[in-house]
Each structure stands twice: as C-alpha cells, then as structure tokens.
C-alpha cells in the first residue's frame, strides 16, 4: 500500500465530484490534494476520462512537479497547482475547471461583481479576474507562470487567499482552492452558481447596484469568523 | 415519540423537495412547518446537506425562535420564519431558497412584471421585491428584521399574504409561503419558472406589455375563489 | 371495459410524454386524443399530477365539452380542444403546455421568425402568435373563445392547420396538434426547441436574416409531400 | 455476419452518444463511420429514433451514396457525408447535429470568435460558418451540394480539415468530423460547449477581445503536434 494512499483517495473522491456537479465536460478539469508533511500532492492524470479514474491512477508529485509515484503523466496544469501549494501554505486542495459560466466571465475578462448575499456568504469582494499573461510568460514555462499570474494578481489587489478562495484567469478559466479538496470543489460549484446569477442580474437590470457594505459584512460574518452562526458548532 | 412528529415529518418531506425540484445548491435553502396549536414550528438544521437530513434532525422552535426540541442549531434564517408565522396567522409553511432566476431578479432589485397567464394563474400583481434594508436594520438583529422588511413591504403595497404567497428580498433571495409546507414549496417552484420566463420575455421583446386586466382576472378566478373551476372539487 | 379504452390509453400515453420531454412543471399542460367515429375525445383530468395519472382517470367528453365518461373534471382547457376538434376535422390529438421558451415568445407577443432548417423541416412560415383576446371574449366563455381566437388567426393569416400544426396564444402559451396525439406531443417539443434557438439566434445577431425561400422550400419538401425522402417509406 | 460489422458497430456506438451528450432532440442528427479499404461507410437510417437503433440497422453506402447493405433508407444527409469522405481522405467519421447553441450561431450566420483557451485547445481559428448556398445549389442535388459548400468554404479560408474539424453551415447546423467516429462526436460536444460560452462571453462583455496569439499557439500546441504534453503517451 502506498504511503500516499490518503491523498490519492482524497484527490480521487474530489475529482469524481466534478462531473456529478456538472462542472466539467469530458476531461476539462482537475483536482489535487496535498500532504504538507510529505511535501507532495496527488493530482488527476492528464486526459483520462472521469469514468476510467481510480484512486490508484492518481499521480503524486512534489512542489517542483516531479513525479514521486504513479505511472501516468499528471495533469497538464500540475505546475500551476505546485506554485500555489508552495506559496499558499494553508491550502489543502486546488480545483481547475472550464465550467460554463465562470469560464465565460474569464473569457470576457471581467471580475464578477458582488450583487447579492449568495456571493457575500462566501467572499466580500468581486471575484477577481487576472489579466491574460504577457507573451513572454506564455511562451516560457506557461503553467508555472499561470501560478505566478494568480499570485501577482492577489498581491496587486491586496487579497488574502484564505478569505478569497477563487479566481478567474483572463481568457482561460477558473481556479479555486480551500483547506481541503472537498472545500475547493465546493468553491468551484459556488463560483459557477454566482457567475450565472451575476450574468442574469445584469440582463434583468443593466444598472444593478453592487451589494451594500452592511449586507456584505453581515452575510460574510454569518458564515465566517468568531461571531458566525451558520451551520453546526 | 415526539409530540412534534407531524411537523418534523412535514418539514422533512418539504425540505427534501427542494433539491428534487432543482431549487437549491448544497444547503442554500430551508423549509419550515408550523403547529399553530402548540405555537411552534419545525425547521431544517443549519448547514446540513439534504442527503444527510432525517425527520429526527428537524429542529422545533417557538415564535421567539427558542429551541423547544432538537440537538442542532436551527437554520440561520429561523427568525425570519418566526416573524412571518407570528404575524401572518393563516400560513402553515415557509420556504427560503436561492433559486437561480428568482434570486437574480432579487439581485437586480426589480419586481417581476406580470407578463402572462402562468403568472396570473397564481397571483394578480407583479411579484413584489422588497428593497434592501437600512443599515441599522442589517447591523441589528438581521434575520428578525428581514421578517419585518417583508411585512412592511406588503403593508406599503397593500398586499394580502393570503393572495400573494411570495416575495423577493432585494439583493438577497426569495421567500414563499402557503397554507401548508407543500404549497409553500410549490410556490417556490412556480416563482422560479415565472422568473425565468419573465427574463426571456423581456429578451424577446424589450417593450413586452404587461398582461391585460381582463386576462389577469380571468386566470386567477379560474384557479381561486368561489367561481374557480380548475382542479377537482 | 370502456368503449373508449383506446383513446383513454392514447391520451394517457401522450400526457405522460410531457414531463419526460421537460415540457411541463407540475400540472401545467394537457393532451387529448379524439375518436372521430364516436365524436368524443379523452383528456387529462384537471389539476392531477402526472405521477398520479392512469388511463382510467382520463375524462371522455363530446365536442360540446359534456362529460361522457369519467368521474373527474376534465382539464380547464377542454373547451378549447373541443372547438379545434369540431372545426379542424383531420386532427387526432391536441397538446397545450406552458413550456418555457414557447411561452416566453407568447408572452412577448411575437411570432417566431423562421431562422433555420430545423424550423423549415416542420413548417414554412413564422410560427404564428394570435393576439390576446378582446375583453368581451375573455369575460365570456373564455376557453371556448380561445379556440375561436386560434381559428380566426389562422384564417386571417391564410394558414392551413394541416401544414402548420402549432400556434402561440399571445400572453398565454402554445397549443399544438397533429394527426395523432403522439405527433401533437412531438410538435410541442419541436416548437420548444425552435423557440429557444430563435431567441439565441437574435442574441447572437440582432440582424439575423430570415431563412431564404429556396431553403424553406427544400427542407420542408424533404420531410413532407410527394417528393419527401426523409424517414422510411 | 456482415463484412461491414466493424463500421456498423462503430457507427451505432457513436450515434448512441448523441442523445447521451444532449446533442440531439428526437432524430435530429446522425453519425457515420468509414471503411477506407472497402470504400464504404455505415450511417444511421433516416428518421429512426435512437432508442430503436441497433448495429444491424445501420445502412452501408459507397461514396456515391448507393446502398451496399441494409434494408432501410440511409440518413437524408448521406450525400453530404459522401462528398466529405471522398475529398478528405484522412477522416474516419462524420457527425451532423442540430445542437442548440451551435445551430443558433449557424442561424445567425456568424463564425464563432475564439475567446478562450477551451476553444484554443481544439483549434486556432474562429469556427467557420459557410454562407447559405446559392439558390441553384439548393434546388439541385441539395445534400450533395452541401458537401461542396463546406469544401469550398474551407478552401476560401485556406483551412485544413485535419486542423479544423468542424464547421457551421449558415442557416442550417453544424458538421464535425475526425479520424474516428468517436473523435467526431467529441468534436460535436466541444463545439456545442464553445458555442454556448462564446454567446455568454459576448453577453458579459460586448467588447470582449479575441484570444491573443501567444495563448492560441500555446494551448493548441499543448494538445497537438510534436511538442504536445496533454494526455498520456
């Protein structure tokens, strides 16, 4: 039995949630699960249909994206995951999808405005959209640079990855993360729902105002922080 | 056996309809069922996935939102339910969801215009949208005040809660109610359908006229009142 | 055994297709099947959920809408069906739904432009939309008059009910028909699909041109008339 | 046993994917599978519902569309398939659907702009849209001419059928192809997804810019060509 069994199982379970939640077509998505003690993460093999996945097929790589265990090539997005794990020390799982509505906002190169409490229950700012990368970054080590594009955009906006667990990469698609792979998948589903409702909101009212500050604060604090009262203790 | 068995079962059954009808993602919704004689209602526990619910897990609270029976925290929206039950004496069940189209109208802060007979079969006026609350109400006892925001908007518009069984809370999401929890769930599904069709109607014809008065009257009276002839006797 | 067994079974089978094809929410639709020899038709009982239907529950009425067999009230739209059966002698089944896209065009009070071959495979003209009725017609025998509103609009446009098997009733919803109940249900599904694509077409190109005459003619003749070569002989 | 068993099975399997992927309503689509050695292809019989298909019912025709084996009429689009097989020697399967979003772009007579990496993962140019045919082509051997309309549009744009495996036929609907029938079906599903996201992208940002060249090149080369690193070796 592999010493990485737990993250391979966790990565497998989380990957299998993506088609169930309607977030992927064919193989257009991947989830990873990290073991901080070992300094490695398990990730979906590249190009394998979800129905053919097993926990054993998950590929284990280190934070330099070198394969530590597994016979298959890891996801082509592995280096992006590796950069985020290395720099953001408290995340336990990462998800990348091309889900319909979130990807459309990414293609439109717009941050998703905070229009309602569904959004504010999860984060207090517009969902950020990193601009497309400079040509030199694209032509170089592309997926590695995608990780830095995300880090740089968070730094530029002064955002905390612990408070904002999602981003759109302009022209490309979303990445989400969380303390666990399950939470990262949850965030991908929330993002897709918020992305759809934001588009519909603008269609219903081109001048729809952003959510007022008092509601942003109240809804986020209902679910997060010392005074939260959502869910069970 | 609990003396509240009947409302716990009723609340459970009605809650389980929400995912079946496509009205909720994860835990974004809740239903309650009232016992007027006992002065209590059963409501979904907070943050518990629908697939983990059982009738036993429903939480019974009184109209001051104090827990009367149950080991879990009740829904974070419990105080809104309590206010509505206390003031509107003939309702037997209440539903809150973040369903996609209804929530988008709420985020757009627009009442849903009455465009057709599907709408008129259920109510004769635009589906009301209460404005977002004043900051002082939000910062205080928020969910309690949400109940009053709903009551006040109905009073301002001169609406009867027995004739209009649904409202959008601006920037937030819909609430519906009815004589029974099942009827309240039915109303949530009707609202979502009417909300989608109203958006599509405006996309097809920006100048779409509201339904004429004679049709509003005819369709509502087909289903309601002493001369109704829809359904079985 | 009822002498109307065959039309009760046919009406039942066709009604059960509506939820399967995603054309109805709750009880918002009905299908009837006619027996021309007997001068009667079987129709869904009013307000009964599809999952509770059985062939036995179908109600048999004559062309004056008098119940000939059955213990339940027939659909509230029965008189509309009766008028169409009486005047259009070659139709064998009628469907009424509030399907999402077709109803939205009806609410927008626009005929559906013929934009492509999917439409032309089934009819050569825009899908007609009858205007809302005069108040005097609504206040009188409403469902009876709805039948005449349909007949009158076909006459005004010079359409043949054998060539055009569908209509939108302005502010209300679609009716379709055909030589058999199955064909009428098929037409309702085609209408819904064509209605969705016409809306999307205008969203992609506000100036989208109607289909050219040569394509309209060719596609319709592929499927219909003496030179048709679609399907099996 | 038929000497064409393998292509009949392959055509059957691929046809059955269309309803599973949500790409067809009723019989609005067809797939064929070619045997280059025999100079024939197997295709869906015309107008037969998918649930009634069997491998035996597939019709085998040569590149002049003459039936070589089978008791049924082949798809009415057979001649279009035949022209493409005759002229494009490396394709192994062809798909025609009326899928909702791709067909709507065809009806709008617009090529689908390349807005993101989901698109660039599959092709480096806008998805082409051939103009509607001249009347003389339509009135003649229509389906045969549809094949030439596709060939001519590729020639006019200087496109390679090996790099671009999909086209919209203006006012009509999409055709896709590939080295195998499975790949052709995959391309139809990708096209539908890209078509939906392109529409949404323009709704979110009317001025959305096309994908920059460096990203187009990078994403396509990730999946294709000598330096590809997507999928397994």
Q: Is D144 on the interface with C (CB under 8 A)?
A: no
Q: pLDDT tens digits, residue range C64-90?
A: 999 999 999 999 999 999 999 999 999
What is the rounded distance in angstroms from the CA atom of residue A115 to the CA atom of residue B129?
A: 15
What is the predicted pLDDT for the residue at D233? 74
CA distances from C28 to B53, C15, C49, C59, D24 (A): 30, 11, 9, 17, 25
Neighbours of D122 (CB within 10 A): 23
Residue D2 or C175, more confident: C175
**Least CB-CB distance to B173: which of A118, A203, A233?**
A118
C132 shares contact with chain B (CB less than 8 Å): yes
Does D209 contact A at CB distance below 8 Å?
Answer: yes
pLDDT value of residue C222: 85
User: Rounded to a whole number, what is the distance in Å from the CA of C9 to chain B's nearest CA?
Assistant: 21
Establish if D116 touches chain A: CB-CB under 8 angstroms: yes
* A200–D contact, CB cutoff 8 A: no
Residues from chain B contacting residue A233 (CB–CB below 8 Å): 73
End-to-end CA distance of chain B: 36
Give the one of A25, A46, A139 whose C-beta lies nearest to D214's C-beta: A139
State the Cα–Cα distance between residues C95 and C79, nearest whole angstrom. Answer: 13
pLDDT in tens, B56-77: 999 999 999 999 999 999 999 9
Partner residue facing D106 (CB), from C116, C229, C232: C116
DSSP A23-75: --STT-EEEEEEETTTTEEEEPBTT--GGG--GGG-EEEETT--EEE-SS-B-
DSSP one-letter string for A147-183: HHHHHHHHHHHT--TTT--EEEETTS-EEEEESSHHH
Which of B11, B128, B196, B224 has its CA nearest to residue C25? B196
Are D212 and A173 an interchain contact pair (Cβ–Cβ within 8 Å)? Answer: no
Of B26, B100, B110, Cβ closest to residue A197: B100
Query: Tell me, what's the pLDDT at A98?
Result: 98
Question: Comparing C-alpha atoms, which of D147, D172, D141 is closest to residue D161?
Answer: D147
Q: Does A4 touch chain D (CB under 8 A)?
A: no
Give per-residue pLDDT as tens, A159-205. 999 999 999 999 999 999 999 999 999 999 999 999 999 999 999 99
pLDDT at A186: 98
Residue in B35, B62, B121, B126 annotated catalytic: B121
The string of pLDDT tens digits covering residues C202-216 is 999 999 999 999 999
d(CA C103, CA C60): 27
- CB-based contacts of B158, cutoff 8 Å, min separation 6: none
Neighbours of chain D (3+ CB pairs under 8 A): A, C
- Determine phi and psi for C89, rounding to 5 degrees: -75, -15
Closest chain B C-alpha to C26 CA, distance in angstroms = 9
CB contact (8 A) between residue B109 and residue A212: no
Residue D45 is given by DSSP the state: B
pLDDT range class, residue C33, cuts 50, 70, 90: very high
Q: Do A201 and B171 touch (CB under 8 A)?
A: no
**Which sign, positive or negative, has the C-alpha torsion C185, C191, C192, C193?**
positive
| D143-180 tens-digit pLDDT | 999 999 999 999 999 999 999 999 999 999 999 999 99
> C217 versus C15: which is more confidently predicted?
C15
Distance from CA of C122 to the nearest CA of D (A): 12
Spatial CA neighbour of A100 closest among A175, A176, A195: A195
Exposure string over B1-27, b if 16+ CB within 10 A, otherwise e: eeebeebbbbbbebbbbbbebebbbeb
pLDDT digits (tens, 9 = 90+) for A58-89: 999 999 999 999 999 999 999 999 999 999 99
Domain covering B5-224: architecture: 3-Layer(aba) Sandwich (3.40)
Judged against a pLDDT cut of 90, whether residue B13 lies above it is answered with yes
CA distance A123 to A127: 8
Mean pLDDT calculated for residue range A115-144: 95
Question: Tokens 């209509």 identify what position?
Answer: C167
pLDDT computed for residue A220 by the predictor: 86
Other Cβ atoms less than 10 A from the Cβ of A227: the count is 7
Q: Residue D68 corresponds to which tokens in the numbers above?
A: 């070589």
Q: How many CB atoms lie within 10 A of CB B227?
A: 7
Alpha carbon distance C29, C102 (integer Å): 13
**What does the block give as tokens for B47?**
């943050």
User: Which alpha helices (H) appear in C21-165, and where do they start and end?
Assistant: 78-87, 100-108, 117-120, 135-139, 142-157
D60 touches D26 (CB < 8 A): no
D108 in contact with chain C, both atoms CB, cutoff 8 A: yes
Tokens of D84: 């493409």
Crossing angle of the two packed helices D181-204 and D5-20, in degrees rounded to 10? 20
Pairing type for strands A59-62 and A129-130 reads unpaired
CB pairs under 8 A between C and D: 90
Note the pLDDT of residue A66. Answer: 97
Q: Choose from C178, C201, C221 for mutation: most chain D CBs within 10 A.
A: C201
Residue A127 pairs in a beta bridge with A112
Is residue D208 less than 8 Å (CB to CB) from chain A?
Answer: yes
CB B76 within 8 A of CB B93: no
C-alpha B52/C-alpha B72 separation (Å) is 13
Cβ contact B197–C109 (<8 Å): no
Rounded Cα–Cα distance for residues B70 and B82 (Å): 17
**B46 lies within 8 A of chain A by CB:** yes
Please tell me the total number of residues recorded for chain D in this structure: 233
- Beta bridge partner(s), residue D211: none
Separation CA B106–CA D71 (nearest Å): 58
Which among C208, C214, C229 is the nearest to D107, CB-wise? C208
**Residue among D45, D46, D132 whose CB faces C212 most closely:** D132
Nearest CA-CA distance, residue D224 and chain C, Å: 30
Average pLDDT over residues D73-82: 97
pLDDT above 90 (res C197): yes
Provide the shortest C-alpha distance from residue D195 to chain A (in Å). Answer: 11
What is the distance in angstroms between the Cα of B193 and the nearest Cα belonging to chain C? 8
Which residue out of A21, A99, A100, A116 would a mutagenesis test of the B interface target, given it has the greatest number of B Cβ atoms within 10 Å? A116
In angstroms, the separation between the Cα of residue D43 and the nearest Cα of chain C is 13
B233 pLDDT higher than 80: no
Beta-carbon pairs below 8 A across chains B and C: 90
Beta bridge partners of B41: B34, B61
pLDDT at C219 over 80: yes
Q: How confident is the model at residue B4 (pLDDT cuts 50, 70, 90)?
A: very high
Check if A225 contacts B (Cβ < 8 Å): no
Interchain proximity D118–A103, CB inside 8 Å: yes
Catalytic residue of the set D35, D62, D121, D126? D121
Is A103 touching D (CB cutoff 8 A)? Answer: yes
Q: DSSP code of C77?
A: T
Q: Which burial class, exposed, middle or buried, applies to C180 when counting CB atoms under 10 A from its CB (0-12, 13-18, 19+)?
A: middle
Q: Is C121 one of the catalytic residues?
A: yes
Report yes or no: C228 at the D interface, CB cutoff 8 Å.
Answer: no
3-state DSSP call for residue C101?
A: helix
ipTM of the complex: 0.96
List CB contacts of D181: < 8 A, sequence separation 6 or more. D10, D11, D13, D14, D31, D32, D33, D92, D93, D94, D95
* Separation CA D170–CA D129 (nearest Å): 6
Catalytic residues of A: 121, 230
């Amino acid at each position: 039995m592999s010493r990485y069994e737990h993250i391979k199982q966790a990565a497998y379970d989380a990957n299998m949630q993506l088609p169930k939640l309607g977030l992927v077509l064919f193989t257009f998505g991947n989830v990873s699960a990290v073991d901080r003690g070992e300094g490695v993460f398990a990730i979906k093999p590249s190009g394998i249909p979800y129905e053919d996945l097993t926990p054993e097929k998950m590929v284990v790589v280190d934070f330099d994206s070198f394969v530590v265990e597994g016979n298959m090539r890891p996801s082509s997005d592995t280096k992006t995951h590796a950069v985020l794990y290395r720099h953001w020390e408290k995340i336990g799982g990462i998800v990348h999808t091309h889900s319909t509505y979130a990807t459309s906002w990414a293609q439109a190169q717009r941050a998703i405005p905070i229009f309602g409490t569904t959004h504010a229950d999860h984060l207090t700012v517009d969902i950020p959209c990193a601009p497309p990368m400079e040509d030199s970054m694209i032509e170089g080590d592309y997926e590695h640079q995608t990780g830095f594009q995300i880090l740089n955009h968070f730094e530029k906006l002064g955002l905390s990855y612990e408070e904002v667990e999602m981003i759109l990469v302009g022209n490309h698609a979303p990445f989400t993360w969380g303390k666990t792979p399950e939470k990262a998948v949850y965030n991908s589903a929330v993002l897709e729902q918020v992305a759809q409702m934001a588009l519909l909101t603008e269609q219903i009212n081109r001048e729809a105002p952003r959510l007022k500050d008092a509601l942003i604060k109240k809804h986020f604090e209902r679910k997060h922080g010392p005074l939260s009262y959502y869910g069970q203790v």
